Amino acid sequence: MLAHPDFSFTDGGVDLQAAELYAACRLSFGLATTLPRRAYTSEVFQDLENEKVWSRTWVCVGSVHEIANVGDLLPYTVGQHAIHVQRQQDGSLIGRFNKAQHGGCRSVPAQCRAGRKTKCSYTSCGYSRDREVIPGSVLGETAALMGQYLGGVPERLLPVRLRVEAGYIFANIDPSPDSTAEPPAVSANGISGRREGFWRVHRSNWKLAGASLVDVARTDVNGGALNLVEAEWHFPNLVRISSQNAMASVILQPIATDETLWRVSLFASPGSGKCEAARGRLLKLIDRAAARAEASQNEIQLASTDSLDETTRAGWNFNQEIVEHITRRHSAYWNVPLVDAALTAR
């Protein structure tokens, strides 16, 4: 849902859209605090992110390597909206809203409205965890899958805007007529070839996950002045960590206020023993980042104050960006599902 301007995002009497709430976060680095505790624990703040971030920015949903064959379909839940990206006959990509936004349910069940993505054996909808890529060969043979994602006439599904940057697929579901947002500029680093991919769930808010990944990479013994490990965070949810012979990318997808799905891809140039060693270092780095993110989540939840000192440059930079988004007022709001809002805006 996109919010009506009269709808307030208030939790415990606190207006989460009020700019003054984030004044301490916007101080200079070294003086600034983290976001308020509610930014990492509140379901209302999660709804605010759905409205101001996921529904209005270019979100990284995967890479072209994951859907290399004709018909391959990549499901992805953007906020509370279920979309997919599919490889077409001519090799191009197309994005669409899923036919069944609520899976096979007539209405959203109570257990799916608690702010936590459920594990649903039926389908990937706006309230459940996504399933992995569906091969085109399997999709064409399974009528149930076809009905959930594509329906009888895929051409009638509401389209989703897509852009590809350096092999990453970005989707934008904003129906606003004045939307001028551009996807982040992702530079190619010369390391081609996705060698493997895997998903992990870690107990931390997605914002803490991103900050931990970048900070751990930048303080790695092979980073810093040696410049052998570099990290970049493309708002909102793509983190890339590069070494001389390999690269890891992590697409962060919140599945609860305190849980994040890490969609990890490892890239390396073929035929080098150094690549395998670099891969091992990157995997260990990701493990350390996950442990730090989980520790940060616990620290925030147990803290006696509403916010802590922001100790990472990556976290501070990100906080400036997200505060600008969540406090921004828009000229167009919708109090209907995006699939209806986009049709109305045409």
Which of 163, 206, 205, 212 shows the shortest CA–CA distance to 186?
A: 163
Q: For the segment 106-155, what is each residue's pLDDT rounded down to a tens digit?
A: 677 777 777 888 887 666 787 889 999 999 988 876 667 788 889 888 99
Domain locations along the chain: 10-56+306-345, 59-172, 194-302
Q: What pLDDT is attached to residue 226? A: 44
Token pair 């209806």 is found at: 340
Q: What is the spatial distance between Cα 69 and Cα 14, in angstroms, rounded to a whole number? A: 49
Q: What is the spatial distance between Cα 9 and Cα 237, in angstroms, rounded to a whole number? A: 22
Q: What pLDDT is attached to residue 132? A: 93
The model's pTM is 0.92
Q: What is the spatial distance between Cα 15 and Cα 35, in angstroms, rounded to a whole number? A: 14
| Crossing angle (nearest 10°) for helices 273-302 and 206-218 | 130
Q: What is the spatial distance between Cα 85 and Cα 309, in angstroms, rounded to a whole number? A: 40
CATH number for 194-302 (one of 2.40.50.140, 3.30.230.10, 3.40.1440.60, 3.30.530.20): it is 3.30.530.20
Q: What pLDDT is attached to residue 338? A: 60
Beta-carbon count within 10 A of 344 CB: 9
Q: What pLDDT is attached to residue 335? A: 52
Cβ proximity of 62 and 53 under 8 Å: no
Which of 226, 236, 214, 234 shows the shortest CA–CA distance to 285?
A: 214
Q: What is the spatial distance between Cα 109 and Cα 200, in angstroms, rounded to a whole number? A: 26
Q: For the segment 4-53, what is each residue's pLDDT rounded down to a tens digit?
A: 554 679 999 999 999 999 999 999 999 999 999 999 999 999 999 999 99
Beta-carbon count within 10 A of 126 CB: 25
Residue 153 C-alpha from the chain's centroid: 29
Cβ proximity of 55 and 345 under 8 Å: no
- What is the CATH architecture assignment of 59-172? 3-layer Sandwich (2.102)
Token pair 């002045």 is found at: 225
Torsion of Cα atoms, 49 then 51 then 57 then 60, to 10°: 60
Q: What pLDDT is attached to residue 227? A: 46
Query: Which two three-digit tokens encode residue 266?
Result: 């490892």
Task: Give the chain's residues under pLDDT 50.
Answer: 1-2, 6, 224-227, 344
